[in-house]
Amino acid sequence: MDALIAAPNPRTSRGRRDRTFLLFLARTGARVSEATGVNANDLQLERSHPQVLLRGKGRRDRVIPIPQDLARALTALLAEHGIANHEPRPIFIGARNERLTRFVATHIVRRAVAQAVTIRPTLAQKPISPHIFRHSLAMKLLQSGVDLLTIQAWLGHAQVATTHRYAAADVEMMRKGLEKAGVSGDLGVRFRPNDAVLQLLNSI
């Protein structure tokens, strides 16, 4: 995630927008449609605990906390485009000031992957899409001890069963970790010496 977020060129307007968009996906776990649908008046950046209103599926809106690095990036992006906090204007826009589409959002991620591969070649072997940022945050929350109901509310899942998939994936990752570390607990079949071996051992 860090390599992808750092990939866009911060010296260009497009690069700063791309980095902020990737950071938004990574820190909020928003769906692409939720991220591109955010307006300036959905943000509360001036309070001590910044937050954003995400408009989810089935009109299930939810408020998500925003960490300080994302709050700073969003504040700078709004200032660069001359957008006030209270305006109902999209914060992620294209060259013609239009709201980003899903196609453009996917292209931003692919462009970041292409740039990050030069530093992290292993990224070329991974299936990376905008949704991977959502999965990554969910796993990070789970591994940090956040309960499933909180993660469910955070991601906007209608049912906790959907969130439970992350717990199942986490257990599977742990199991593979045990296998990789050689901690299988399998002692094999216990050796049973025959009479000849016992006589030899007794004579030693």
Annotated active-site positions, please?
31, 57, 131, 134
Helices (runs of H) and strands (runs of E) counted in the chain? 9, 3
CA distance 120 to 132: 17
Amino acid at site 41? N
Is the Cβ–Cβ distance between 91 and 78 less than 8 Å?
yes
Amino acid at site 47? R
Q: Give residues with Cβ within 8 angstroms of 98, minimum separation 6.
A: 90
Q: Give residues with Cβ within 8 angstroms of 204, minimum separation 6.
A: none
Sheet holding 51-55: strands in order across?
Answer: 43-44, 51-55, 61-65
Amino acid at site 146? V
179 burial level (CB within 10 Å; 0-12, 13-18, 19+) = exposed
